[in-house]
């Protein structure tokens, strides 16, 4: 699949997730075969540009390209200016957020709230596309609520504005993350535009990935929550799509190495104080299906140093490898 001048090496993309898709996580997913990893959203509000959080999100040192950054806001000129600023900092693809369902985003008429105003959508897309010399992509939901699914209309506006690829999450804003994603709307979008369409929502296994591609006809898949604590899902899906069977699941020793390296990168990226705290949620995701994980996570979350976290992980995995390791249902899931 191509996005502007960039030819992606694969069809699997990491979804932008606030508080998750930082540079260490994006780099890890790319190593496991993701063709593109979109950053956490960056506010277009210029008063936030100098904050430590925004500066970290604009840090792409050592990142494998193409570098894709998602921007969020509701004012066309602010979004255009934010796009230019990020391109000046090394961004190669600008992604516009019109899919986030969070209240704090929608309350300022940004994210998926924009889907209620198609005229404003058009003004935003025109402003951003005209502002930067790099490809601009867009992420949307199927609409604001089930009674007003307007993804096809928005997709046509996006194509006319010069958007180079469109990611569609198969839920409306009102659905949040409840229930199951629906893919009929994504298939309708694909049938009505010629730009690449990326299907998003509940892609959590190799078999589900193949089914969604077949149902929607999408050019690529975007994976979010299913990659939390399981960044190797990109390798699993890519292998299944190529060979028709699932690869052998990672061993406990391999998972240990991946997790150990991941938290070390978090400590280095954020500094020890914040890195220790960010590492806690990732460790919880990685170990959720392991033996006595609740007890381990409770103790792990009380640790205050990088060294203590590393020692605790090493000890826990030694005990796992000496015992049963994965729960039976988790073994079945990893083999699916």
Whole-number pLDDT of residue 163: 98
DSSP line for 154-218: HHHHHHHHT--EEEEESS-TTTTT-S----HHHHHHHHH-SS-EEEES---SHHHHHHHHHHH--
Question: What is the predicted pLDDT for the residue at 328?
Answer: 39
Predicted pLDDT of residue 102: 66
> What is the reported pLDDT for 28?
98
Could you tell me which of 81, 10, 4, 67 has the C-alpha nearest to residue 39? 67
What per-residue confidence (pLDDT) applies to 326? Answer: 54
Catalytic residue chosen out of the listed positions 20, 82, 100, 303: 100
Domains in the chain: ranges and CATH: 2-243 (3.20.20.70), 252-322 (1.10.1200)
Structure confidence by residue, pLDDT tens digits, 229-281: 999 999 999 999 999 998 899 999 999 999 999 999 999 999 999 999 999 99
Asked if 106 is an active-site residue, the reply is no
pLDDT (0 to 100) of residue 106: 60
pLDDT computed for residue 334 by the predictor: 43
Q: Is the pTM higher than 0.85?
A: yes
Q: Which of 114, 219, 117, 209 is nearest to 166 (CA)?
A: 219
Question: What is the pLDDT tens value at each position of the chain, 336 positions in all?
Answer: 999 999 999 999 999 999 999 999 999 999 999 999 999 999 999 989 889 999 999 989 999 999 999 999 999 999 999 999 999 999 999 999 998 776 566 656 567 789 999 999 999 999 999 999 999 999 999 998 888 899 999 999 999 999 999 999 999 988 888 889 999 999 999 999 999 999 999 999 999 999 999 999 999 999 999 999 999 999 999 999 999 998 899 999 999 999 999 999 999 999 999 999 999 999 999 999 998 899 999 999 999 999 999 999 999 999 999 885 554 344 444 444
pLDDT at 177: 87
C-beta separation of 125 from 157 below 8 A: yes
Distance CA 207, CA 215 (A): 12
> Which residues is 290 bridged to in the sheet?
326
């Amino acid at each position: 699949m191509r996005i502007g001048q960039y030819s992606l090496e694969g069809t699997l993309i990491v979804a932008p997730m606030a508080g998750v898709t930082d540079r260490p996580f994006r780099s890890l997913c790319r190593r496991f075969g993701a063709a593109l990893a979109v950053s956490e959203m960056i506010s277009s509000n210029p008063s936030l540009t100098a904050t430590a959080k925004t500066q970290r999100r604009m840090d792409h040192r050592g990142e494998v390209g193409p570098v894709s950054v998602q921007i969020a806001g509701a004012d066309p000129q602010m979004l255009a200016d934010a796009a230019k600023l990020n391109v000046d900092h090394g961004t190669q693809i600008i992604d516009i957020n019109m899919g986030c369902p969070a209240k704090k985003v929608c309350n300022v008429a940004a994210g998926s709230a924009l889907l209620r105003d198609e005229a404003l959508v058009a003004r935003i897309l025109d402003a951003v596309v005209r502002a930067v010399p790099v490809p601009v992509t867009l992420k949307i939901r199927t609409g604001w609520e089930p009674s007003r699914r307007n993804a096809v209309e928005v997709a046509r506006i996006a194509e006319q504005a010069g958007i180079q690829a469109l990611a569609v999450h198969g839920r409306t804003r009102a659905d949040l993350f409840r229930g199951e994603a629906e893919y009929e709307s994504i298939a309708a979008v694909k049938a009505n535009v010629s730009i690449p369409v990326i299907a998003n929502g509940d892609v959590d296994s190799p078999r589900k990935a193949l089914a969604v591609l077949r149902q929607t006809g999408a050019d690529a898949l975007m994976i979010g929550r299913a990659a939390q604590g399981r960044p190797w899902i990109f390798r699993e899906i890519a292998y299944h799509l190529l060979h028709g069977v699932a690869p052998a699941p990672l061993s406990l020793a391999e998972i240990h190495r991946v997790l150990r390296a991941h938290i070390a990168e978090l400590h280095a990226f954020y500094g020890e104080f914040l890195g220790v705290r960010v590492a806690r949620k990732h460790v919880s995701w990685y170990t959720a299906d392991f033996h006595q994980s609740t007890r381990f996570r409770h103790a792990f979350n009380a640790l205050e140093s990088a060294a203590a976290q590393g020692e605790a992980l090493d000890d826990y995995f030694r005990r796992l490898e000496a015992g049963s390791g994965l729960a039976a249902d988790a073994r079945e899931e990893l083999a699916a």
